[in-house]
Structure 1
Amino acid sequence: MENDEEALRLEIKTDIEAVRDEARWCGLKPGMRVLDAGCGPGLVTSILHEFIKPNGFILGVDYSTKRVEYANKKYANRNEIEFYLHDLRKPLKD
């Protein structure tokens, strides 16, 4: 992702109801801790956050600086949600 327009394109193509259906199928519930590996611009992470609040926590991780910056700008103002720049080929600290 090189710019905000690419982030918007990725968000537009996301099927929000399909993400919600998959979250229910996975059994996400309030209070859970979730890792969204390869979170991209953060829309899916923010949708998953709906299922784990209150008292849950979700960490969105991506290798793209631009995607993490966009996600932090758009979604990280919520409680219990963070975005982190990291190469998942390396261990992730608690």
Structure 2
Amino acid sequence: MLNNNLTCREQLLIIVKQITNHKGENEFTIIELLDAMHKSGSIFKESTIRTHITSRCCANVTKYHHQTHYDDYIRISRGIYALNK
């Protein structure tokens, strides 16, 4: 179970690392992530999670949508992302 005192970004980093370690490759889908977040007991809404992955924390997107931006993930193709190492 995730600690719900963590921010959405912090929870995402934990879950993404679990997914990529389990798969043995640095790649994950939004669907895999949403499912894992739900199963881990995250309190964040699907829309918040999607916004973080697709915009707020994605290195290769336009950065004018959010005041604070992180380069945690890179978009590989539609719906497929990787941890930006």
TM-score normalised to structure 1 length: 0.28
TM-score, length basis structure 2: 0.29
Question: Whose radius of gyration is greater, 1 or 2?
Answer: 1
